[in-house]
Amino acid sequence: QAQLVESGGGSVQAGGSLRLSCVASGYTYNTYCMGWFRQAPGKEREGVASIDSGGSTLYADSARGRFTISRDGAKNALYLEMNNLKPEDSAMYYCARSTGARCPSSLAEPYFGGWGQGTQVTVSS
């Protein structure tokens, strides 16, 4: 059974950095586009970044220039390096997989699934 497990969240001050990790199991990881999403209390889940099996990336405007998504096929792992964090980045962060090797042109939630349990990121001002 496909499973995604996120880790690496925590509490940091504004301007700080965190590196989130997601480990996949139960499917052929390298053949799927992967993405990071986040959901703040009272808000809808939103896409942050995606990366396809060839390493091409897509970022939400809020993440571009501060966040970096990467993957390690040998470890079945997905990462999100977050720098210059802001209070508005506070949310539960989830990794997810898309339906194929190429990522959709949109970071819309319906294109992704297999959600993990999430990891909490809290940024204080």
Helices (H), the chain: none
pLDDT of residue 69: 98
16/89 Cα distance (integer angstroms): 11
pLDDT of residue 80: 98
Q: 21 - beta bridge partners?
A: 7, 79
Run means of pLDDT, 10 residues per run, the chain, 125 residues: 94 98 88 95 96 94 97 95 98 94 90 92 97
pLDDT of residue 2: 83
CB atoms within 10 A of CB 56: 11
pLDDT of residue 117: 94
Could you give the 3-state DSSP secondary structure of residue 109? helix
- Which position has the token pair 């539960």? 92
| Cβ proximity of 32 and 100 under 8 Å | yes
pLDDT of residue 49: 98
